[in-house]
Structure formats: structure tokens, C-alpha cells
Structure 1
Amino acid sequence: MRILLTGGSGMVGRNLQEHPAADKFEILAPRSQELDLLDRKAVSSYMEEKKPDLVIHAAGRVGGIQANMADPVGFLVDNSLMGIHVINEAYKAGVEKCINLASSCMYPRSATNPLSEDQILTGELEPTNEGYALAKITATRLSQYISKVDSTRKYVTLVPCNLYGKYDKFDPAHSHMIPAVIRKIHEAKMAGLSAVDIWGDGEARREFMFVADLASCVFKVIEQMRADVPLLMNVGLGKDHTINEYYRAVADVIGFQGEFEHDLTKPVGMRQKLIDSTRVGSVGWQAKTSLREGIEQTYQYFLKDVINE
């Protein structure tokens, strides 16, 4: 099977290519210099030339609260265009199977936790990442529409919880929470600081999954992409932790002995975002990496491949 993987140089894409199951497939992972996903004609030509059997859409402009708030236009426009171009051009080129990777930020800010797939588009989105969420909702709906109007197509959307792991971004201005916290606490330890700041009161809850577990889920779905596989599935752990608990877990791995100080003037986003992963259990998948194990592996990657760059 020939797979076109978008976002192959990103965290999810690189972990997909390094997964043992990747050896079973011919995976095309063009870099942006080879295929500009913002160029519809280029995407169309690539689909027609390469004729993939399946598309995995993992590309996207991503970042944490700071990045989303700084450039909501870019996050909305770029991610919307990428999703529409990849998914719709795959449809027009006759690609029968597609896995679209979405985001749990698509859920309404006031939705009851755990978040189930049928709650999407039932309420107001979280303002701090609304542009990105709208783009992901568009790609998700497009995938569903295609599967609805053409029974020969299976365009599945996976909605992972927050991710972290190898090949993550550790720049505090552009990264998600766990890699940002790893860098912050590592630098605090190296500088001999006695305290580290936490945005807000630290009681907001988040669900973070090691990215290699998402890769295993994607290949599990590919193996079982049959008529009864749900078209929309959350992919997560089924449990969450407070921001304070994540800081303490990272500090424990790194060996930071200082204190934590809360900056109550900073935004914290949604108070809780725990997804219901019951539906993905139908394909026989479950996340296996513990929080400590995932943080340890991510910190070792940071030490070896990030700070020595």
C-alpha cells in the first residue's frame, strides 16, 4: 500500500515513519519544498502523479496558547487551506482511504467532560485557539461529507488529546505545555533558580499522550479500515492531570528541587479537556506509555538532540 503522509517532518509525522509498522508500507512524505500544501494545484498534481492508496493528513501549523493568540489569522487560514486541499484533492483523485488527524480543541469550551465525539459543534469554542479549532472542524466535516456522499470512500478522522514526545518543539513561544515545561525546569535547574512560575493557579486539567502511542493507533486503524470502523474517533488515555501535577512530574524526572509560583494574571484556557476514547477501543487499541516513562524519553531526547543542536 502506498501512503501519502503530509506533515512528515513534524512530530507526529516523524513518529509515524519511525514506527515498526511503517516498514509494511511505501510511505511518501514530501517536505514543503517538494509539495506546498497551500498550493491547491500542486496538491492536485501530486495526487494524480503519485496515486496514493491512502492519505494520512498530519500536517498543520501548531503551537500553544501564546502562538495561537499571537496569530489567529495564520492558524485559521493556513490550517483550513491545508485540510481542504489535501482531503478534497485526494477525493477528486480517487483515493479511497484517508486518515485526517484533528484536535481536541474542536470541542466547545463548556462541554461536559469526558468529551464525546457527538459534542463537536454544539457550543462556543475556546477563544485562545478558536482559529485552529475552526480549521480542524472544517477538515473533519469535509472528511465526513465525502464518506457520506460516496460509500466507496473511507475518510476517518482521529481526534487525539494533547501530545508530547520525540521531535517535539521546545521553544516556549511555540510549543505545547509539556515540552515548554521541560525546557523551563531544565534551565531553572541549570541556573540554580529556587522557583519556577506556572501560568494561572495550576488547577486546570489536561490529558497528554505520548506521541508514539498515537502512531500505533494510526497503524491499527489502517489495519482495520473496514466498513464498520467509526468515521470519527477520539484517541486518548481516558485520564487527565492538573497543570501542577505535570510540573511536579517533570521536576521529579529532571531533579529540580525548587518551588512553584503561580502567575494569576496569565490565561489558562479551558479548565478541563478530557476526551472519551471509548469509540477507538472498537479497533482494539489502547495507549501503553505511562506519564513518567513518556517524560523520561522526551527529556532524554531534549538533552541529546535539542540543547546540543
Structure 2
Amino acid sequence: MVGRNLQAHPGLQGIAVLAPGRNELDLLDFGSVERYLRANSPDLIIHCAGTVGGIQANMREPVRFLLENLDMGRNLVWAAKNAEVKRLINLGSSCMYPRDAQNPLKEEMILRGELEPTNEGYALAKVTIARFCEYIGREDPGYQYKTLIPCNLYGPWDKFDPGHSHLIPAVIHKIYQAKIAGDEEVVIWGDGTARREFMYAPDLADCLVRAMQHFDSLPGVMNVGLGRDYTINEYYRTVAQVIGFEGEFVHDLDKPVGMKQKLVDVERQMGWGWQAKTSLLDGVAQTFEFYRRQMAPNG
């Protein structure tokens, strides 16, 4: 999702972009990654690949989420160092923050407490790679490997399959299917009061383009977010408004909900001079149009 939205950003016009798919480059194969980087000698790498999914997928497959994200990050970062690529932007995740940390989540809180158990494997991998980038620059300041920590994301090219998706695409799929089936109720996990911060993925792409253009001023570790969050219930209501679903919502209080709040602090980001522009309503509407055109199994 992030890579496709980044490639679509007009700020990349005139820049030679290498964006190998899995069939061309397997990031789980260190030798292949190192040979690829030595052969192509990129000026800068943006690491936005990953094995990702929502709460169901993370709870079901913690081994895969830990190992694949750890291996991809380790292989790419170490191969970049061996190939003498001096600049790299690594994408972390707000899952890196402790489960009981005070919101908003400041960058210095990483590794200051226990991680959220429902996505611990993924978070451990992300924390490790962020520290790996920091260590490389600490040993040799000629290598500037920086980490951006986005809040939760949604948008075009997201995963809409409920078994693998995050909140907003899963809700879009669920409510759209309920509407076309004529269902009168949609189930929400938990009481819906947990708060989440979701940013439209093209906005992150805009931040990444600015990071490329102003790499030297980019902090070594920086959150990227909205600076505000919404309840799960508000996300459901916004999606229902966009789709035109007029049924009721029912809460399943026996289901896990994860952290009660996860809002990143954007003081460092604002000081650097960037902020997201897309409203929740506009972002959901554009994401739904993408889903309806390309992904909806009955649309």
C-alpha cells in the first residue's frame, strides 16, 4: 500500500525509481538483496515492505509476523550498508510503543515498557530494525539510516480481506457487504470506545517525498501522524455514512480490542514542517471508491 501510493505521488516525477516486486527480488533472501543493491547502487532506500495485518492476523500468526519482518528489515538494512548506500528511510510502526505508555506517544518512549500482546511479534521486529538503523549510524556517521513511525494507515491498495486487514478496510468491506446483503446489523468488536489514529496513505507518501527532498533536516526517529484520533465507533459511523448503510451496530464485548488508545505525538513532525491534509471523511470516501472499483467481490 505505501509503496504504490508513493510511486503515484507527483513529487517522484523525474526521479529514477526502483520498485522491485516479490517476483523480482525476495527480501527474505539476503544474498539476492545484496546483489541487487550492488548492481543498482541507489542513492537512497525507502524500506516500506512488510508482512502486515490486523489484530486477527497478528494473534493467529505471531511467528510469521516476527520472523518475516525481522528478516526483511535485517536483510535490506545490512545489505545497504555492505553496498555502501549512505541514506535509508526505514518505516516503523506505532505498535513499537509500550501498551501502557501515556498518550500522545513520544519517540523517546520506545522500549520503555511492555508491548501490546496482540501484535507483539510485529512490534518486536519493528523495534529491532529501528535500533539496527540507529546503531549503524552510531558506529559510522557517514551512514544516515533514519526511521519514520507512521500511525495506522489506510487507503488505496490496502488489504480488504477481513482475515488480514486493518480496521478501516475491514470495516469498509464489512459494511458494504452488509448493505448489499440487506443486513440490518453489523457487529463491532468490543464496546467501540477504544481510540485509534488512522492516516490516509497518500498523505504518508507526501511526507516521504518531503523526507527525500529534505533528508538532512529529517530527525533520526520521527512520528508521522494526524495529532488526533477517533473512537472505533466513529470510524464505523463514518464508513456507514460514506456507503449509505442505515442499519444498527451491535457490540460483541467478548472480542479483544487491543490498546485502549494509540495516538502518536506529532510535535517533532510539526517542527520539521509537515502535516497531513486529508480529512477522515474524504479519505474514507476515496478508499471506498478504490475498493468498489477494484476489490469488491460483488461490486
> What is the TM-score with the length of structure 1 in the denominator?
0.95
Offset at residue 291 of structure 1 (A): 0.2
Residues 1:178 and 2:141 aligned together: no
Residues 1:252 and 2:241 aligned together: yes
CA distance in 1, matches of 2:238, 2:296: 21
Partner of 1:41: 31
Residues 1:269 and 2:255 aligned together: no
Say whether the 8 Å CA contact 1:103–1:159 is kept in structure 2. Answer: yes
Show CA shifts across 1:253-303 (max 9, x none). 111111100000100000000000111223321100000000000000011
Counterpart of 1:118 in structure 2: which amino acid? Answer: E
Partner of 2:150: 160
Counterpart of 1:202 in structure 2: which amino acid? Answer: G
Partner of 1:230: 219
Offset at residue 153 of structure 1 (A): 1.6
Say whether the 8 Å CA contact 1:76–1:135 is kept in structure 2. Answer: yes
Higher mean alpha-carbon deviation, 21-30 vs 160-169, is at: 21-30
Count of matched residue positions in the alignment of Structure 1 and Structure 2? 298
Partner of 1:14: 4
Partner of 1:124: 114
Counterpart of 1:74 in structure 2: which amino acid? Answer: R
CA distance in 1, matches of 2:140, 2:54: 36
Counterpart of 2:121 in structure 1: which amino acid? Answer: G
Say whether the 8 Å CA contact 1:238–1:276 is kept in structure 2. Answer: yes
Offset at residue 154 of structure 1 (A): 1.4
CA distance in 2, matches of 1:149, 1:22: 32
- The two structures, once aligned, show a CA RMSD in angstroms of 0.9
Residues 1:279 and 2:268 aligned together: yes
2:15 maps to which of 22, 25, 31: 25
Question: What SS does structure 2 have at the residue aligned with 1:55?
Answer: strand
Show CA shifts across 1:208-249 (max 9, x none). 0000000000011111111x4210000000000000000001
Matches within 5 A, 1:101-112: 101-112=91-102
CA distance in 2, matches of 1:24, 1:178: 33
2:159 maps to which of 156, 169, 172: 169
2:133 maps to which of 128, 143, 160: 143
Partner of 1:304: 293
> What is the TM-score with the length of structure 2 in the denominator?
0.98
Partner of 1:293: 282
Question: What SS does structure 2 have at the residue aligned with 1:209?
Answer: strand
Question: What SS does structure 2 have at the residue aligned with 1:25?
Answer: coil
Q: What percentage of residue pairs aligned between the two structures are identical?
A: 58
Offset at residue 24 of structure 1 (A): 3.0
Say whether the 8 Å CA contact 1:116–1:275 is kept in structure 2. Answer: yes
CA distance in 1, matches of 2:181, 2:215: 51
Unaligned 5+ residue runs, structure 1?
1-10
